Chains A and B, each alone.
Chain A
């Protein structure tokens, strides 16, 4: 099967002074794929995500995201992607509707389009009753699902999710993943980081970073085979703590 590549990274290096945060990363991500981007704390994931989303330029190497060069066309990349993280996504002192309008406006959608998408989004999530509530007043799980919907409001090519399910209850966590599956089935690529190793098993492919490098990249089943492990968690520990096994 030939798949369209939406992210292609060749020899990406990012240095901060003498510190090498990303050390010759090479990988591709395909259209409609759920790509799990794992690694130990401090392995360089956040640095790489900032480059992939056009927020930071690579020191060297070629990074193409949604057809645009991360060094030369970062603004075009920003328009082609969505982003959500656990810590901040929606403005707490704005209502649900105001947040959607704000993000729709930032992404250059027309008022009519925003109105229509707002309505269908609230219906799809069964959140019609919450439209005029302040974000601050909503439970965490509801907020996170809403933040994800807003991140894909403008139908981006790729959505980056940085620990989207941290701390949410087990039912919401699963509902969230079903939203991810639906989104990927629509052709939007989902690029996700998580510390829940069972969630790594939900991805089509998973990469594991350690000390600035991608040490392994395969399907969850492929990784388990290769590292003779029962779970991705076991693979993760073998890779990030090589001395212990």
Chain B
């Protein structure tokens, strides 16, 4: 275990009846890093986060956080963890200010003591301090929930899908807020179904059906893509996908934004696929080699 390791998980498994929610997970999270768990619904992200926050025990395996075992160190651990669950869980019938004060008091601190830490986030909602939490917009609820999770200056901040269902502009603002917490050396683990958000993390684990597919820095995960990848464009995207699927040399063809990402069985098929596509009547065909993104690699690992 590395010296700067904040969370160490070894062979963690958890089942609910016949469902294996987590299947033999092992990973380390380093102190001060932003660590992302990237995967779709049902991958096991929330179950894992409930174990990390000591709300649930694994069936098998070991986990230590800050050197404390989650089974018998949970009382001490809870003082040092800030948790923002996926579903908004603050008191809807308390005001913004009352919620924040409540959380500060429960953790034996005051809003004033740690105000510096939440200033950037909380200042946006401070003008509405007297408003009931239940009456806030989605974006404001999110800022309040993050402020409440941070108010006791935790060593570990656990964010379960903070950006799910949030529009692209607000998502990018949320990641900006997290970046501003860097100087405080808080370790952040965050889960998301949006693959592009992996790029905002220091390291990520790709997770699917209770298993970790890969753990690394996002750039290295991209480099793990094993084949040559081509980005192909044409006038009619649906026809293009259908044609590419029918091409004998195609291994995979997935739509990606305004192009289709394609891999071939061997090298040098780019020219023949160009001819083939032109013959099928597709216009404005452009074929370029491209670098794989996180989602390309995720798709490859799912195959």
Instruction: Report which A residues bind B (CB closer than 8 A).
Output: 39-42, 139-141, 163, 166-172, 174, 177-178, 181-182, 184-185, 195-198, 201-202, 220-221, 231-233, 236-237, 240-241
Task: Name the A residues within 8 Å of B41 (CB-CB).
Answer: 140, 167-168
The residue from A141, A201, A220, A241 contacting B169, defined by CB atoms under 8 A apart:
A241
* A residues less than 8 Å from B137 (CB atoms): 41-42
Which B residues, 257 to 281, have Cβ-Cβ distances below 8 Å to chain A? 257-258
Contact sample, A vs B, 23 pairs, CB 8 Å cutoff: A39-B167, A40-B170, A140-B40, A140-B42, A163-B165, A166-B193, A167-B41, A169-B302, A170-B195, A170-B298, A170-B299, A172-B40, A181-B238, A182-B238, A184-B238, A185-B238, A195-B171, A197-B168, A202-B255, A232-B257, A236-B167, A237-B169, A237-B172
Which of the residues A169, A181, A195, A201 comes within 8 Å of B165, measured between beta carbons? A195
**A177 and B166 in contact (CB under 8 A), knowing A169-B302, A170-B295?**
no
Q: Which residues of A contact B257 (CB under 8 A)?
A: 198, 201-202, 231-232
Complex: chain B residue closest to A86, CB-CB: B165
Across the interface, do B40 and A168 meet the contact criterion of CB distance under 8 Å? yes
Q: Which residues of B contact A (CB under 8 A)?
A: 39-43, 137-139, 164-173, 193-195, 208, 237-238, 241, 254-258, 295, 298-299, 302
- Chain A contact residues, majority secondary structure: helix
In the complex, what residues of B have CB within 8 A of residue A168's CB?
40-41, 193
**Distance A139 CA – B167 CA, assembled complex (angstroms):** 25
* Least CB separation from A234: chain B residue: B168
* Shortest 9 CB-CB contacts between residues of A and residues of B: A167-B41, A169-B40, A181-B238, A201-B257, A198-B257, A201-B258, A240-B169, A40-B167, A237-B169
Q: What's the minimum C-beta distance from B141 to chain A, rounded to whole angstroms?
A: 11
Which residues of the partner chain A approach B39 to less than 8 Å between Cβ atoms?
169
Set of chain A residues within 8 Å of B165, measured between Cβ atoms? 41, 163, 166, 195
